[in-house]
A and B are shown apart, each in its own frame.
Chain A
Amino acid sequence: MSKVEMTVNGRSVSGDVEDRTLLVHFLREHLGLTGTHVGCDTSQCGACVVHVDGKAVKSCTMLAAQAARAEVTTIEGLAAGGELHPVQAAFKEHHGLQCGFCTPGMIMAAVDMINRHSGKLDEKTVRAELEGNICRCTGYHNIVKAVLAATEQMGGAAKVAAE
C-alpha cells in the first residue's frame, strides 16, 4: 500500500492504494468519480480518457501512483462553473452520443485534440485522431460533426479573446 496525493478537478485528494491500483480505479472507487469508464482493459477503447497535467491519458494504463502530485481533470471537472464546455455542448447539439458510455472519454480526447491542433481541424484529421476512442453506437458520424463544430466555436472564442 502507498499513499498517493494529487489534484483532481481542482481539489486536493489523497488515498492509500495498493501499488497495482490503476488511476481509473482510484478515480472511480476511491473518489467516486464514476464518469470515467473502463471499456476494454487494453488501452484501445478510450472510455477512460482523463487529462493529466493538461494532456489526454488513458487512465486504465496509468498507475494511480504515477499520477502522484499531478493535476488531473475528469469529465466531472470539465464544465467550469456549471456551464458546459463547448465540446460537451456540441456533443448534445449534434447528437454525438447514444448510450453515453464512451462519451466521457470521447469528450476528454476531443478537448485534447482541439487544443493540440490549435483549433485547426478537418474531418480527416478528426477521424484519424479518434483512432484511440471506440464508439459502437454512433458510427462516429455525429461525433466528428460535434468535434468540428466545437473546434469552430472554440476558435471563434479564442479570436474574440485575442481581440
Chain B
Amino acid sequence: MGIEGIGARVARKEDKRFITGKGRFTEDMVVPGMKQAVFVRSPHAHANIKGIDVSAAKAMPGVIDVLAGDELAEDGIGSLICGWMIHSRDGSPMNMGEWRPLAQSKVRYVGDAVAIVIADTRAQARDAAEAVEVEYKVLPVVTDPAETLQDGAPQIHDNAPGNLIFNWGIGEEEATDSALAGAAHVTEMEIVNNRLVPNAMEPRAALGHYDAAEDHYTCWTTSQNPHVARLVMSAFYNVAPENKLRVIAPDVGGGFGSKIYIYPEEIVCLWASKKTGVPVKWVADRTEAFLTDAHGRDHVTKVKMGFDADNRIVGLKVDTIANLGAYMSLFSSATPTYLYATLLSGQYNIPNIYGNVRAVYTNTAPVDAYRGAGRPEATYVLERTMETAARELGISPAELRRANLIREFPHQTPVIMNYDTGDFEASLNAAMKAADYDGFPARKAEAEGRGKKRGIGMSCYIEACGIAPSQAVGSLGAGVGLWESAEVRVNAVGTIEVLTGSHSHGQGHETTFAQLVSDRLGIPIDNVSIVHGDTDKVQMGMGTYGSRSGAVGMSAIVKALDKVEKKAKMIAAHLLEADEADIVIENGQVKVAGTDKALGWHEVALNAYTAHNLPGGMEPGLKEGAFYDPANFTFPAGCYICEVEVDPQTGKTEIIQFVAADDFGNIINPMIVEGQVHGGVAQGIGQALLEGTVYDEGGQLLTASYMDYCMPRAGDLPSFQVSHQTTECTTNPLGIKGCGEAGAIGSPPAVINAITDAIGNNNLTMPATSQKVWAAVNAA
C-alpha cells in the first residue's frame, strides 16, 4: 500500500469546499431569469378532485403562472412508474395504480401534488399557492397495512382490488410447514418494523431550464442517480428525448435511498420551464420532505422458527405485509421482496424457508428503499426471533447463533442467494471480546445496585449488496441492468480524470476512487480527479445505492485501468525496446522489471499524445472505458452488540456501549468505512429508540417536522467501537463487499434485544421510547 493507495487512511479531497461553505448544492444554483416554484398539495389523504380554480392565484403579485394536472396531461407527460415487475403466487402481474405527476381526478395521500405555482420569489409563490382553490370530495381513509386488506376498507386504486398490489412467495411452503410440524420447539412472534422518514439533511430540490433556442432541457436535481433520472424522464415520462435532456446532480446532501427515485417535482419543473419560458426552481421545505420523500420500512410480520432437539434450526416461515403507501415508487416492489425475503437465511444453516409478502396500498406517502432496504427488515425478523428462541430454550443467545452458523462456502440458501465467502464466527468472537460479553453479569449486578436495569443484546447480520448482476435481476423482474461504467482519461501530462456512473452524496468517492488509481499507478491522488453526476460528462451510469459504488463502480474503474495499463505498457515496451510482458508500472514509473530502464508515467502519457513514436498501427491517445457487470451480489456480514441501562423510574434507555464487528472484504479507506458504519448505526439506533412515523386516522402525518419526528442527536448516541474482520469477496476484482448500509441493517435488533433483556419483557416495539419502555417495565 502506498501512502495514498488502497488501505490508506487519507483525509478527503472533497472536504475543503464543504468546510469553507463552497459546496455546490442544487439550491445554490442560479440561472439568469430563474423563477421560484411552490407546489399546491392535497391537505386530504383521500379525496376526489371536483375542480381547481387558479384565477385568483394567477392574479397575485409576482405570479408567472399556475399550472395543474390537466395541462400536464394534454402535453403528453407520462405517469410515474415502478421499475421492477413482481408476479404474485398465482402468476398474475402486480397491480400498479396510476401516479400522475400532478393529480387530476383523485388525491391519495396528504402531500399529493395538485398544481405548481411559479412566481418571482418563493414567498410570492407560497402566497399564491394559498389562493389556489381546489374543491375536494373527501373519501374514507386507510393508513394501516393490515387494515387496508380488510373487507370494506376504502379502495385506493381501481385496478388493485382490496388494495393488494401483489401476493408473492419465495421458498418451499410445504417442506417448511412439514419441518415446523416436526420441530422440537417453535418460536413464534409478531414483529412490526416501524415506518421511517429518511431525512437527508439537504431537502430535495429541482431546477428545470428549457432552452428554446436549442430545444434542450437541463435539470439540476438532488439525485443519487442522474443517469437513471434522465433515462426514465425520457423513456417513460416523455419530458424530452435523452439527447435533449441533461441531468446534473451536483453536491447532494445525503440520500439514504430517498434520492434514488424520480419524483413528480423534477418532471413538473422541466415541463413548466418550457410552458412558461422561464427556468423554474423548487426547493422542498422540511415538512414537504416529511410528507413527500419516499418513506422506509413499514412491515408487519408473523414469523415461525422451528428447532430440533439439538437447537438446530429446521425451518423458518415468514408472512409479511408491506405498506407501499399511496403509489408505487420506482423500486418499491423490489424492496420487500428480492431485497428482503432473499436474506431470510441470515448467517444460519436453515434447510427450509418460506416467505410470503403481501404488498398493499394505503393513504400514506409512498414507501421505497431506505438505507438497507429490505435487509434491515429481514435482519430484524431473524435476530429478534433468534434472541427470543434462545430465551425460550434457556441457552445463551451467542451460543444458539454459534450452533447454527454457516461455516462452509459457497453456501446456497433456500431463498436464491449464494454466499460466496464469509467467516461469521470471527465477527461474533471479535464483537464479544470487544464488548467484554463475559463480564456482563458483573456489570449488570453493579447496575442493579444503582437501581438501573442493564441488558445486553446482539445481532448477527448478513446483507446482499454490490447491487447487482444484470441478468439475475432481469430474470427477477428488474427493468434495468445494474452494472456500472467508468472511463479513465489520461492527460498528456499524466494527470488523470476518472469519469464514473457512481454518484457521491457523502460517501467520499473523490478520495477513494482516486486512491484506487494512485494504488495502481503510483501517482499522487492530487493528480487524479473524479468526475460524476452530470449526464453530459459521463455517458451512462446506474448511480449509488445498495452499497454498490465500491463493489461495482470501482470494479468498472479497475476494468478501465486494466485497458489503460495495457496500452501504456505497449507504448513503454516499444520505447524501451523491451518485451511487453517484462514491463511493470510502479511508483509512477513504467519500467522493465529487474533493470534500470524506465520511463516516467507522464512520459508514457506524453508519447501517447505526441504519437511520434508509437507501436505500428496503434491509435494515439490514452483513454479507456469499461462497463462492469458483477457476477454475484456481495455479502457483507458481521456481529453487533449493544449494552444498555434502563432507568425503571422513567423508562429512559441509555446506550452504554455499541460494538460493531464487520466483514466488508478489502477496504480502500478505513477512515471513510468507519464513518459509514457510524452513520448507519446511528440511523439504526434512531429507528430502535427514537424515530416513529405517525399518521392519524384521517391520514394526517403527525410527525412532519423535527419538532415531532425525533431525529437522533449527539446526546442520544454513544461513541462506537468499530472493528473489521476480512474475508475477500471472490466475485469482484478488488475483493470488496460494501459498507454503506450495514450499520443500519445490523443495529436495530441489537438495541431491542438489549432493552428487552434489561427489562425482562420481550413485548416491545420500535421506537422504544421512554414511555413504551416504562410501560413494558411495569407490565413485566
Alpha-carbon gap, A41 to B683, bound state (A): 22
Looking across the interface, which residue of chain B has its beta carbon closest to that of A39? Answer: B201
Give the Cβ gap from A136 to chain B, nearest Cβ, in Å: 5
Give the Cβ gap from A108 to chain B, nearest Cβ, in Å: 10
Binding site for B on A (CB under 8 A): 18, 20, 28, 32-42, 44-45, 47, 74-76, 78-79, 84, 88, 91-93, 95, 97-104, 107, 123, 126-128, 130-131, 133-145
Q: Which residues of B contact A39 (CB under 8 A)?
A: 201-203, 286
Is the pair A136, B20 in contact by a Cβ cutoff of 8 Å? no
Of the A-B pairs whose beta carbons lie under 8 Å apart in the complex, a sample of 25, sorted by A's number, is A34-B25, A39-B202, A39-B286, A44-B706, A44-B711, A45-B286, A91-B19, A95-B12, A97-B15, A98-B254, A100-B253, A101-B25, A101-B253, A104-B21, A128-B715, A130-B715, A134-B713, A135-B201, A136-B254, A136-B679, A136-B711, A137-B506, A138-B678, A141-B720, A143-B714
Given contacts A92-B12, A137-B679, A142-B678, contact A97 B717 (CB under 8 A): no
Alpha-carbon gap, A36 to B20, bound state (A): 10
Alpha-carbon gap, A130 to B678, bound state (A): 17
Answer yes or no: B403 CB below 8 A from chain A CBs: no
Alpha-carbon gap, A13 to B683, bound state (A): 41
Looking across the interface, which residue of chain B has its beta carbon closest to that of A93? Answer: B11
Partner of A139 from B15, B25, B28, B682 at Cβ < 8 Å = B682
Looking across the interface, which residue of chain A has its beta carbon closest to that of B286? Answer: A40
Give the Cβ gap from B693 to chain A, nearest Cβ, in Å: 15
Q: Which residues of B contact A18 (CB under 8 A)?
A: 121, 123
Alpha-carbon gap, A91 to B680, bound state (A): 19
Q: Which residues of B contact A95 (CB under 8 A)?
A: 11-12, 671-672, 674-675
Partner of A141 from B18, B21, B121, B719 at Cβ < 8 Å = B719
Q: What 0/1 pattern do residues 663 to 692 of B give for CB contact below 8 A with A?
A: 000000001101100111111000000000
Interface centre among B15, B287, B682 (most CB of A within 10 A): B15
Is the pair B285, A41 in contact by a Cβ cutoff of 8 Å? yes
Which residues of chain B (1-51) have a CB below 8 Å from chain A?
A: 11-12, 14-23, 25, 27-28, 30
Alpha-carbon gap, A94 to B123, bound state (A): 40
Partner of B707 from A42, A76, A84, A145 at Cβ < 8 Å = A42
Q: What 0/1 pattern do residues 182 to 224 of B give for CB contact below 8 A with A?
A: 0000000000000000011111000000000000000000000
Is the pair B20, A140 in contact by a Cβ cutoff of 8 Å? no
Answer yes or no: B705 CB below 8 A from chain A CBs: yes
Alpha-carbon gap, A97 to B678, bound state (A): 12
Is the pair B202, A99 in contact by a Cβ cutoff of 8 Å? yes
Which residues of chain B (696-749) have a CB below 8 Å from chain A?
A: 705-707, 711-715, 717, 719-720, 743
Q: Which residues of A contact B707 (CB under 8 A)?
A: 42, 44
Partner of A92 from B11, B21, B720 at Cβ < 8 Å = B11
Partner of A37 from B202, B285, B505 at Cβ < 8 Å = B202
Partner of A140 from B16, B27, B717 at Cβ < 8 Å = B717
Alpha-carbon gap, A98 to B123, bound state (A): 31
Looking across the interface, which residue of chain B has its beta carbon closest to that of A20? Answer: B123
Alpha-carbon gap, A39 to B25, bound state (A): 12
Answer yes or no: B154 CB below 8 A from chain A CBs: no
Is the pair B287, A139 in contact by a Cβ cutoff of 8 Å? no
Alpha-carbon gap, A76 to B28, bound state (A): 14
Q: Which residues of B contact A37 (CB under 8 A)?
A: 25, 27, 201-202, 253
Partner of B18 from A103, A126, A139, A144 at Cβ < 8 Å = A103
Looking across the interface, which residue of chain B has its beta carbon closest to that of A129? Answer: B714
Answer yes or no: B521 CB below 8 A from chain A CBs: no
Q: Which residues of B contact A98 (CB under 8 A)?
A: 254, 506-508, 675, 679
Alpha-carbon gap, A33 to B18, bound state (A): 13
Alpha-carbon gap, A18 to B61, bound state (A): 13
The 7 nearest A-B residue pairs measured at CB: A35-B21, A100-B18, A101-B253, A139-B682, A99-B506, A75-B21, A44-B706
Give chain B's interface residue range (CB within 8 Å of chain A): 35 or more
Q: Which residues of A contact B743 (CB under 8 A)?
A: 139
Give the Cβ gap from A84 to chain B, nearest Cβ, in Å: 7
Give the Cβ gap from A143 to chain B, nearest Cβ, in Å: 7
Give the Cβ gap from A32 to chain B, nearest Cβ, in Å: 8
A sample of 10 more A-B contacts (CB under 8 A), given A35-B23, A42-B286, A103-B18, is A18-B121, A45-B286, A75-B20, A88-B20, A95-B672, A100-B506, A134-B713, A139-B720, A140-B717, A141-B719
Which residues of chain B (547-577) have a CB below 8 Å from chain A?
A: none
Give the Cβ gap from B323 to chain A, nearest Cβ, in Å: 23
Is the pair A41, B21 in contact by a Cβ cutoff of 8 Å? no
Answer yes or no: B645 CB below 8 A from chain A CBs: no
Q: Which residues of B contact A103 (CB under 8 A)?
A: 18-19, 23
Alpha-carbon gap, A91 to B671, bound state (A): 13
Given contacts A42-B707, A136-B256, A141-B719, contact A99 B19 (CB under 8 A): no
Q: Which residues of B contact A138 (CB under 8 A)?
A: 675, 678-679, 682
Which residues of chain B (381-431) have a CB below 8 Å from chain A?
A: none
Alpha-carbon gap, A75 to B508, bound state (A): 21
Is the pair A127, B18 in contact by a Cβ cutoff of 8 Å? no
Alpha-carbon gap, A41 to B288, bound state (A): 11
Which residues of chain B (243-265) have a CB below 8 Å from chain A?
A: 251-254, 256
Q: Which residues of A contact B719 (CB under 8 A)?
A: 123, 141, 144-145
Is the pair B15, A92 in contact by a Cβ cutoff of 8 Å? yes
Looking across the interface, which residue of chain A has its beta carbon closest to that of B19? Answer: A88
Alpha-carbon gap, A128 to B199, bound state (A): 21
Partner of A101 from B20, B23, B285, B715 at Cβ < 8 Å = B23
Is the pair B21, A99 in contact by a Cβ cutoff of 8 Å? no
Give the Cβ gap from A98 to chain B, nearest Cβ, in Å: 4
Looking across the interface, which residue of chain A has its beta carbon closest to that of B715? Answer: A127
Looking across the interface, which residue of chain B has its beta carbon closest to that of A33? Answer: B21
Q: Which residues of A contact B11 (CB under 8 A)?
A: 92-93, 95
Q: Which residues of A contact B18 (CB under 8 A)?
A: 97, 100, 103-104
Is the pair B705, A100 in contact by a Cβ cutoff of 8 Å? no
Q: Which residues of A contact B681 (CB under 8 A)?
A: 139
Is the pair B706, A42 in contact by a Cβ cutoff of 8 Å? yes
Alpha-carbon gap, A97 to B20, bound state (A): 12
Alpha-carbon gap, A97 to B11, bound state (A): 11
Alpha-carbon gap, A139 to B27, bound state (A): 25
Q: Which residues of A contact B12 (CB under 8 A)?
A: 92, 95
Is the pair B20, A100 in contact by a Cβ cutoff of 8 Å? no
Alpha-carbon gap, A145 to B718, bound state (A): 12
Q: Which residues of A contact B671 (CB under 8 A)?
A: 95
Alpha-carbon gap, A92 to B713, bound state (A): 21
Given contacts A39-B203, A75-B21, contact A92 B679 (CB under 8 A): no
Q: Which residues of A contact B285 (CB under 8 A)?
A: 38, 41
Partner of B201 from A42, A102, A141 at Cβ < 8 Å = A102
Q: Which residues of B contact A143 (CB under 8 A)?
A: 714
Q: Which residues of B contact A44 (CB under 8 A)?
A: 705-707, 711
Alpha-carbon gap, A141 to B712, bound state (A): 12
Q: Which residues of A contact B21 (CB under 8 A)?
A: 33-36, 74-76, 78, 104
